[in-house]
A and B are shown apart, each in its own frame.
Chain A
Amino acid sequence: MAAVELRGVSVRFAGTSGAYTAIEHVDLDIGAGEFVCVVGPTGCGKSTLLNVVAGLAKPTAGEVRVAGVPLTGLNRAAGYLFQTDALMPWASARDNVAAGLLFRGVARAQALTQADDWLGRVGLRGAGDRYPHQLSGGMKKRVALAQTLVLDPKILLMDEPFSALDVQTRSLMENELLGLWAADRKSVLFVTHDLDEAIALGDRVIVMSAGPGSRPVASHPIDLPRPRDVAEARMSPRFVELQRALWQSLRVEVQKSQRAMAAAG
């Protein structure tokens, strides 16, 4: 059974200048333990897609099923890594990581021990007392990753989590993500506008059409061997073939979205 199923999901927003359809009639399956990457041009409703799976946004039509059960309210099986900084600035790194455990009623001492353990696993041993403003961008992402993974979610939703990082930190984080994922194979829905990142990470890459009313237009399995090193994977001939094939689908959508933006602007 698929971990997440979307059936005919549409999301419409009532805006000031008329209703806007972010995604329309999306059918999508994420298998148990599968790493699915979604790419698409800017404004193609990628974040909306994640919000629907997270239960933060309600579909106007269609249905989301999590492990076969229709989703109502927030998706309790999912952890969400946001694009922008979502750590609580008034809490130390340790308290940020422990927050989800405390919300779930875990005793404070035990929550803090687990938080320290996870800070160690993401390479931040000894940084637990620092506040977010005392951490670099990459360190904040590590804390956010630990904050989500400490709860051991079955499903991991990621919204361009590494887009604000510099290139070196980024490939380091991508490798660490793959390492953590390989340890217990969560189902991952990873949204990005970067085709290379999608191919390097995913088992499958889905291309979204340009918005409004975007939907998946192509789905390519990625047969690069695992375990992968993202930097090495990028240099393999198979990577280049896959990139060429996927770029064909993506380019059409990017051009469409640029034309739409030029017409609107």
Chain B
Amino acid sequence: MSAAARRLWPYQLALLTALIGAWHALTAAGLLSPFFFGRPLEVARVLGTWFGSGSIFPHLGVTLLETLLAFAGGTLLGVLCGLWLGLSPFAAALLDPYIKAANAMPRVVLAPIFAMWLGLGIWSKVLLGVTLVFFIVFFNVYQGVKDVNPVIVDNARMLGASRRQLLRYVYWPSALSWVFSSLHTAVGMAFVGAVVGEYLGSAKGVGYLILQAEGSFDVNAVLAGIVVLTICALLLDTAVTRLERRLLRWRPGQGDAAHF
């Protein structure tokens, strides 16, 4: 965190408090209908019950498992396909129209098909998440491999690098920074896959909880579910940032650059 951001956090906290305060005042005064907009204290109470009784944990566990599996699977496939197509122009040219079409398609519509194929358990959600994550990571790695500075490649070849060594010492590290810039979006997408999949049919998960609450017009529980999901997504995003700092130490701005 930069010094400026550190100085800002009391204001950011004040802004959040003000927003929640306004929400509370407006719903308490009846200017906003509590039936549609909920009440912050009620939301807090629902959260307290969920975590107090521990009833949320099986649902949260399922959603997180789906998210992590989708994230890992989609990232792995995206990296492999990105490296492969980035290094083989023929395959890239051959598959180009199909990749464009698959990317343009709103892939969330695949969810019912996955549910048909894989049932209502976690795997239909994982597969939906994988398709969402895959394209983000794939395009970034593909671009990263194609954008490798050709002079660095020529230099490595003159130093005696074989094709495999080029992949390991040049293409892979170069693609890695692109992978990380895509992982932040990918984490969010993995959550989208899990929760949307749960909406469409499931027996467990935070998405399922939200759907249940919606069915009984319990807007406070819907909002509580959203809060839980947001906090989890933020935590995962922080973990990605940590990993990124460790692995991309070589980048300007990641450490302190010396000036001579």
Contacts and interface: CB of A to CB of B under 8 A. Distances in A.
B160 A103 contact: yes
B105 interface: no
B161 to A, nearest CB: 5
Nearest to B155: A86
A181 interface: no
Nearest to B260: A136
Interface stretch (B54-62, B69-77, B247-255): B247-255
Contacts of A56: 154, 157-158
Interface stretch (A4-12, A36-44, A75-83, A233-241): A75-83
Given A103-B161, A103-B162, A134-B257, A88 B251 contact: no
Contacts of A134: 255, 257-258
A82 B150 CA distance: 11
A151 B173 contact: no
B174 to A, nearest CB: 7
Q: Is the interface of A mostly helix, strand, loop or mixed?
A: loop
Interface residues of A, number: 33
Contacts of A104: 160
B251 A151 contact: no
Interface string A89-124: 111100000011011100000000000000000000
Contact of B154 (A86, A103, A139, A148): A86
B159 interface: yes
A131 interface: yes
A76 B151 contact: no
A147 B161 CA distance: 13
B13 to A, nearest CB: 36
B44 interface: no
A223 interface: no
B133 to A, nearest CB: 24
Given A131-B250, A133-B257, A80 B151 contact: no
Interface residues of B, number: 28
A90 B160 contact: no
B238 interface: no
Contacts of A54: 158
B250 A133 contact: yes
A99 B156 contact: yes
A102 B162 CA distance: 11
Given A54-B158, A56-B157, A78-B158, A133 B252 contact: yes
A131 B154 CA distance: 20
A85 interface: yes
Interface in A148-201: 148, 151
A103 B155 contact: no
Contacts of A103: 156, 159-162, 165, 169
A88 B158 contact: no
A90 B151 CA distance: 15
Given A56-B154, A90-B250, A102-B169, 4 more contacts: A80-B158, A90-B176, A103-B161, A131-B249
11 contacts: A82-B155, A85-B151, A89-B251, A91-B169, A91-B173, A92-B250, A102-B169, A103-B160, A131-B250, A133-B252, A135-B260
Q: Which 3 A-B pairs have the closest CB atoms?
A: A86-B155, A100-B159, A90-B173
